[in-house]
A and B are shown apart, each in its own frame.
Chain A
């Protein structure tokens, strides 16, 4: 069965600093991978997705992620965070008409 692990529950980063969120997946075939962001009281917004092809994918809000099959990872990065990036981030793998999510990483941005 597919699963996703996000090792970091909470990350604090200074505004303007870089951000990297880790995601490891377990899936037998080529995975469909996603990063979603959730602000308090809101639904999930898709940041980016990987289905196939180029392993470095660009998303919205200046985010990018790199798929590494050898490490079963799909880490999310942003070169310079803004205060508005404070939110909870979820990595997910898609299969059999559903998404399986990681536990999420809460990002706090300090001034």
Chain B
């Protein structure tokens, strides 16, 4: 079974631009979560989607948004990029059963550099 895939793997943008990152979950997984990883702040939760609905959101400004499609694929968008948005963005998928938490499987990440 293929793992979580993220595209693109690397991205370079300039301040003020916007960016869209894509995530395809493991087949059969219906939940997709996004995390930001930086040297200063570590791993921080952005948001989680299940059946196209956002169930939880981290403490990030409104410039960060996401969505999930009917095939469970997800995208996250960052508008008006700032230098501090440079980070590794990780996507994770899970089966998302009835429990409020399920084991998550991570993709390789998208490395975003903002110049």
Instruction: List A residues at the B interface (Cβ < 8 Å).
Output: 32, 34, 36, 42-46, 49, 90, 92, 94-104
Q: Are B100 and A97 in contact (CB under 8 A)?
A: yes
Question: Which A residues lie within 8 Å of B100 (CB)?
Answer: 95-97
Q: Are A98 and B45 in contact (CB under 8 A)?
A: yes
Asked if A32 and B101 sit within 8 Å, CB to CB, the answer is yes
Complexed CA–CA distance, A104 and B88 (Å): 15
User: Within the assembled complex, what's the spacing in Å between the Cα atoms of A101 and B104?
Assistant: 13
Q: Which residue of A lies closest to B47 (CB)?
A: A98
The answer to whether B107 and A95 have CB atoms under 8 Å apart is: no
Instruction: Report 27 cross-chain contacts, Cβ distance below 8 Å, ordered by A residue.
Output: A32-B101, A36-B106, A42-B108, A42-B109, A43-B106, A43-B108, A46-B104, A90-B43, A94-B104, A95-B100, A95-B101, A97-B33, A97-B48, A97-B50, A97-B55, A97-B56, A97-B100, A98-B45, A98-B48, A98-B101, A99-B33, A99-B35, A100-B45, A101-B42, A102-B42, A103-B42, A104-B42
Query: B56: which A residues are within 8 A, CB to CB?
Result: 96-98
